[in-house]
Structure 1
């Protein structure tokens, strides 16, 4: 029966902030990162659904404004749509902003791809007292039009049924009237291309327009196919005809004609539109404060400060409860295994290795969850887009593109998606520069290290210290950006043009899925990579058998590395081993301390890792702060280095490893040496 199931591949496309990923989740049940600011989906994501007869592979393309390949995201999207095996495209638009969103639709239709238009956020349309004539819109465009409110599932079943029937639809017979003489020039060129089978896998009219627009990617492919000089001469001849009748350059002419078509279409099908020039809505009122030139940046810093205060004030007691539970599990596992007659090595591996090591990381899950809740609210409410807008001027002063702020904010969660989010930057130099400073943004994996050391040495000021870590990371990032820009990436920075979505109350369902997804990734890492890491550390810390902890393989390794860190004040073998293993994944730093202190504690009492760290004589408050700064700035984890290599090459990946370690070492040495002089 499975062999009889028909399979189709369909693209899901749309501008940023139209609820496209929300539609994807509703259709496929796949839980992804749903944000309310541009550039959130940086890779194509795949999901599947079927009705028993047809299986649909739905591919979520990056949020883009155009199919002209000006950025990597736009190139990815257009290249995918041009594939022969793609049945068609589901184009999601914000129904309350049709005029701004339908430009992308005109490009999809000119590609002559089967298309379904999804008018998402119809609840906003009704709230704004607007009416859209769905039937007339569908008749004019020649494509199915589906009303939806993806956030609550409205219209999703209808959309799913429409996608299942995709293969039954005809290709759209869509043409924009560019003017009699210009249309004649396009048609003549299209006829010539068709008769001579030039790049016959593309629609000849669309190909003609792209050649006349001087589309770089199409011309590259055109030249690869060894197209004749005669065709180039015909294209030049037609361009001269268009230039004679177009007031602007050809590219601008075609863009303006498309927007003119969209404007006329919206006037035809939309009625009772509220005049926003007369009525200032709540979004504009809030923006007058939050994006104010004077108040915008201080408010952003203040909001981040209170975010960290909220996370640590509320999270600290929750960490205590989880810590007690982990200690209980450690004690009870030891007792049970001893009673079962398990060998000492097995007891030690489970209690000291697995439970103390992995548990030492998991105790900070409440703080991570609270941070993700706070960031999720800021994303889904629409504030993060404003933060990028507010920071644009500062970013330009520092030699960064305004859009660089978006990957930097993503980097607070994880460096890997932050690296991939740089694909929204058009300039390769801007992309490389942004990627090089992303490791300084304090990712979620470093949070357990901060939580451990603040609990041990700065308990009264935990929120302030961690907030300071984030500020130090940002400061180092922007300073290095300025230095790198001056020496390696000298060029003008292009202006930031981005959409500011309307403010929305975050949906509990979306927020819950987002926090669950991020926390589950953290727990999954604890159960796989970190588990393997702590077991290796346990093995190295246990053997040779009957040797003291100071004579184990782990201690020997630490003592080899320790002299490097001695000028920074944490030249003990324990700290050196923790930092070395942290190159694999930053959470392992905490797991390493948990395993080491589990091995050292023969009585296996239930005191926390933080207490043991404080009681040990390997840190004071100055060196502890220096250790936190080093952990913030040094070599990113293996996964991040891999992402950097994939995006900008092996050479830049090695450079990132070397220069981040140098910056981290220099910073922590300065902190310890100067701090020791001040503290005495």
Structure 2
């Protein structure tokens, strides 16, 4: 099978191009770290396999995701490399292209975002680029599907002769070192000439992965000269040689064609969006608008309609059908009061969740999210981190698991650990159903404001803990934050829909698996006790658990055991909390549950409970991810204990202090 390796710098539209070529959707974002593993697909109507590798600036890896690319090239020999570049940022992008071309495999360079290049008033002569780079060069605009047919045809045809392969001539001493080492590698280790030369250049350039590979393979022609290469500072000379070649090539190929009105418009918008003082209020305002759409204007009215349908016609029809079929009472109770009430009680929040995800996808596709990272970088620097650490936190709004995995892009181990430990404090989408219940019951006029305060409280706690960890871990070194600000785009509806569906489908899958299982579990716990099947839920196992812990939760304003038992199921998955409450309060719809909650909560105790739910023990999936990413059970257990302590302490302070003024 023919294999095409797809690689390039972050923010070149590489993943979008992968989706269009393979007809397989993968997550798209405007920052480094979204693609942390290689993804695979086949070009439409062919047997050509495409491997989507993480976005990197160089083959010299600093982070885990960058190491994926270099290790892939070391252990695989792709038939073709598709190098995706940002057409308007070629001077920087071609630094990676040169490393790829020196690898020796056939290469096609895609100048993506060609429309952005044209808006700058510049263009390139493709014949000149092809001649200088020694490979095919294609113009594409993946967002608008321009140039994709030509690129797909080139991929299907395979490598085409373009003349002489690229082989830069480095300074005399470096060339001599390359020639001597590569010749020995060819003769002593049976390597190809191209691969031997590439290995030598990367080794001289202090590529850590290559040096580890050379040590493992005992490549003595390289290992024996390492000290000499480093002492001569050959890596600086290699960089300067490549940069000079790129500048000369682009000067020869450059053409002027038009005005720069779009660039000027982007600069004017950024003057306000990324302003040192105004940038943060704009960020907060945008998120407030998102929550107004999700909870006040669009999401909640749609959720109310869905709730009426599930708790009315669906529940009634199921009950009649089971009765007509002669089902025993306990089976009817399981289906109607357990599954339909529990799972349905979670599904009614799908509109709110999908509206929120649609807003996030819109911000990503427009180009704003990169600006958000830049704006928050100033805050992150105050606590010893930077905007790169905030990117996993933003991703954590969707799911803490993917947010923690995105922390792989952080170079410094201590910074990466800190980001992993604070990520569970970010309010993931799984908590939205329980937020919706509480704000609808106790804050009907300020739903968006209350949810926004919860989200930003999670951010504040995360940043505060990050500062504490920075002091405790004695963090001195910090990562370099590089963010590319793409030009603004009019969002495409298909991309917004794909992004919304990709983020939201996990919630629906959970409803059919984890939430289903959790609902059955809580129904069993609330229907059985020490004496077997119970008619009074107060005698059930769930009641025994909740009542036993009631004195511990009373200082938080939680005065009913049903809520405490539901919080335990939230460790399985946060979405299960609302379905568990539906089952244990014996309500068939959201309206009935809200009425029951009004008996046991005040607005103050409700808010304290929301704070506790925001911060307490992460779900099982998040705990497992912390263990796998840190390689330590100790940190996973620490995350459980510390988050529980922080949640309890903060909820206690809010309720007790608030009680003094009410």
Residue number in structure 2 paired with 1:130: 122
Residue number in structure 2 paired with 1:183: 175
Deviation, 1:171, is 12
The answer as to whether partners of 1:109 and 1:172 remain within 8 angstroms in 2 is no
- 1:436-475 Cα deviation digits (max 9, x unpaired): 1011111111111110111111112111110110111011
SS of 2:621's partner is helix
In the superposition, relative to structure 1, how do residues 96 and 214 fare at CA in structure 2: closer, same or farther (>3 Å)?
A: closer
**In the alignment, structure 1 residue 43 sits paired with structure 2 residue 26:** no
In the superposition, relative to structure 1, how do residues 348 and 231 fare at CA in structure 2: closer, same or farther (>3 Å)?
A: closer
Alignment partner for residue 579 of structure 1, among 567, 571, 584? 567
Deviation, 1:76, is 0.9
In the superposition, relative to structure 1, how do residues 409 and 256 fare at CA in structure 2: closer, same or farther (>3 Å)?
A: same
**In the alignment, structure 1 residue 23 sits paired with structure 2 residue 5:** no
Alignment partner for residue 13 of structure 1, among 3, 7, 20? 7
Any stretches of 5+ residues in structure 1 without a counterpart? 1-6, 244-248
Report the TM-score, using the length of structure 1 for normalisation: 0.91
Deviation, 1:250, is 2.5
**In the alignment, structure 1 residue 560 sits paired with structure 2 residue 544:** no
The answer as to whether partners of 1:50 and 1:164 remain within 8 angstroms in 2 is no
Spell out the pairing of 1:554-633 with structure 2 (5 A cutoff): 554-598=542-586, 608-615=591-598, 617-633=599-615
Deviation, 1:51, is 4.0
The answer as to whether partners of 1:103 and 1:258 remain within 8 angstroms in 2 is yes
Residue number in structure 2 paired with 1:283: 266
The answer as to whether partners of 1:13 and 1:91 remain within 8 angstroms in 2 is yes
SS of 1:47's partner is strand
**CA separation in 2, counterparts of 1:634 and 1:454?**
19
**In the alignment, structure 1 residue 364 sits paired with structure 2 residue 352:** no
Deviation, 1:279, is 9.2
**CA separation in 1, counterparts of 2:257 and 2:60?**
30
The answer as to whether partners of 2:410 and 2:479 remain within 8 angstroms in 1 is no
**CA separation in 2, counterparts of 1:620 and 1:390?**
37
**CA separation in 2, counterparts of 1:627 and 1:279?**
48
In the superposition, relative to structure 1, how do residues 629 and 202 fare at CA in structure 2: closer, same or farther (>3 Å)?
A: farther
Deviation, 1:237, is 4.7
Deviation, 1:316, is 2.1
SS of 1:11's partner is strand
Residue number in structure 1 paired with 2:646: 663
In the superposition, relative to structure 1, how do residues 238 and 435 fare at CA in structure 2: closer, same or farther (>3 Å)?
A: closer
Alignment partner for residue 68 of structure 2, among 57, 64, 76? 76
**In the alignment, structure 1 residue 151 sits paired with structure 2 residue 143:** yes
The answer as to whether partners of 1:91 and 1:116 remain within 8 angstroms in 2 is yes
Residue number in structure 1 paired with 2:249: 265
Residue number in structure 2 paired with 1:208: 200
Deviation, 1:225, is 3.1
In the superposition, relative to structure 1, how do residues 607 and 360 fare at CA in structure 2: closer, same or farther (>3 Å)?
A: closer
**In the alignment, structure 1 residue 414 sits paired with structure 2 residue 399:** yes
The answer as to whether partners of 1:593 and 1:609 remain within 8 angstroms in 2 is no
The answer as to whether partners of 2:119 and 2:259 remain within 8 angstroms in 1 is no
In the superposition, relative to structure 1, how do residues 50 and 374 fare at CA in structure 2: closer, same or farther (>3 Å)?
A: closer
**CA separation in 1, counterparts of 2:581 and 2:161?**
62
Deviation, 1:300, is 1.5
Deviation, 1:568, is 1.5
**CA separation in 2, counterparts of 1:40 and 1:635?**
26
- 1:94-132 Cα deviation digits (max 9, x unpaired): 223222322111111111122121122223334444333
Residue number in structure 1 paired with 2:372: 387
Between 670-679 and 650-659, report the one with greater CA deviation.
670-679
Deviation, 1:360, is 0.8
SS of 1:117's partner is strand
SS of 2:165's partner is coil
- 1:33-72 Cα deviation digits (max 9, x unpaired): 21223322122112123645xx222221111111111221
The answer as to whether partners of 1:456 and 1:613 remain within 8 angstroms in 2 is no
- 1:134-191 Cα deviation digits (max 9, x unpaired): 2332233222222222123233233233323437779983211223443233222222
Between 287-296 and 213-222, report the one with greater CA deviation.
213-222
The answer as to whether partners of 1:149 and 1:155 remain within 8 angstroms in 2 is yes
Deviation, 1:546, is 4.0
**In the alignment, structure 1 residue 306 sits paired with structure 2 residue 306:** no
**CA separation in 2, counterparts of 1:252 and 1:381?**
37
- 1:395-444 Cα deviation digits (max 9, x unpaired): 11112132111111111111111111111111111110011101111111
**CA separation in 2, counterparts of 1:607 and 1:219?**
61
Between 491-500 and 109-118, report the one with greater CA deviation.
491-500
**In the alignment, structure 1 residue 142 sits paired with structure 2 residue 125:** no
Residue number in structure 2 paired with 1:636: 618
Residue number in structure 2 paired with 1:56: 48
- 1:299-342 Cα deviation digits (max 9, x unpaired): 21222222222322212212211111111111221122222322
The answer as to whether partners of 1:114 and 1:172 remain within 8 angstroms in 2 is no
Report the TM-score, using the length of structure 2 for normalisation: 0.94
In the superposition, relative to structure 1, how do residues 31 and 395 fare at CA in structure 2: closer, same or farther (>3 Å)?
A: same
SS of 1:146's partner is strand
Between 405-414 and 82-91, report the one with greater CA deviation.
82-91
SS of 2:24's partner is coil
Spell out the pairing of 1:341-356 with structure 2 (5 A cutoff): 341-356=326-341
Residue number in structure 2 paired with 1:3: none
The answer as to whether partners of 2:307 and 2:590 remain within 8 angstroms in 1 is no
In the superposition, relative to structure 1, how do residues 15 and 338 fare at CA in structure 2: closer, same or farther (>3 Å)?
A: same
**In the alignment, structure 1 residue 222 sits paired with structure 2 residue 214:** yes
In the superposition, relative to structure 1, how do residues 607 and 405 fare at CA in structure 2: closer, same or farther (>3 Å)?
A: closer
**In the alignment, structure 1 residue 196 sits paired with structure 2 residue 188:** yes
The answer as to whether partners of 2:60 and 2:208 remain within 8 angstroms in 1 is no
Residue number in structure 2 paired with 1:327: 311
Between 94-103 and 129-138, report the one with greater CA deviation.
129-138
Deviation, 1:573, is 1.8
Residue number in structure 2 paired with 1:120: 112
Spell out the pairing of 1:229-244 with structure 2 (5 A cutoff): 232-237=223-228, 243=232
Deviation, 1:221, is 2.6
**CA separation in 1, counterparts of 2:563 and 2:413?**
38
Deviation, 1:368, is 0.8
Deviation, 1:74, is 1.2
In the superposition, relative to structure 1, how do residues 239 and 395 fare at CA in structure 2: closer, same or farther (>3 Å)?
A: closer
SS of 2:54's partner is coil
SS of 2:478's partner is coil
**In the alignment, structure 1 residue 65 sits paired with structure 2 residue 49:** no
Residue number in structure 2 paired with 1:511: 496
In the superposition, relative to structure 1, how do residues 141 and 200 fare at CA in structure 2: closer, same or farther (>3 Å)?
A: closer
**CA separation in 1, counterparts of 2:171 and 2:544?**
80
**In the alignment, structure 1 residue 645 sits paired with structure 2 residue 627:** yes
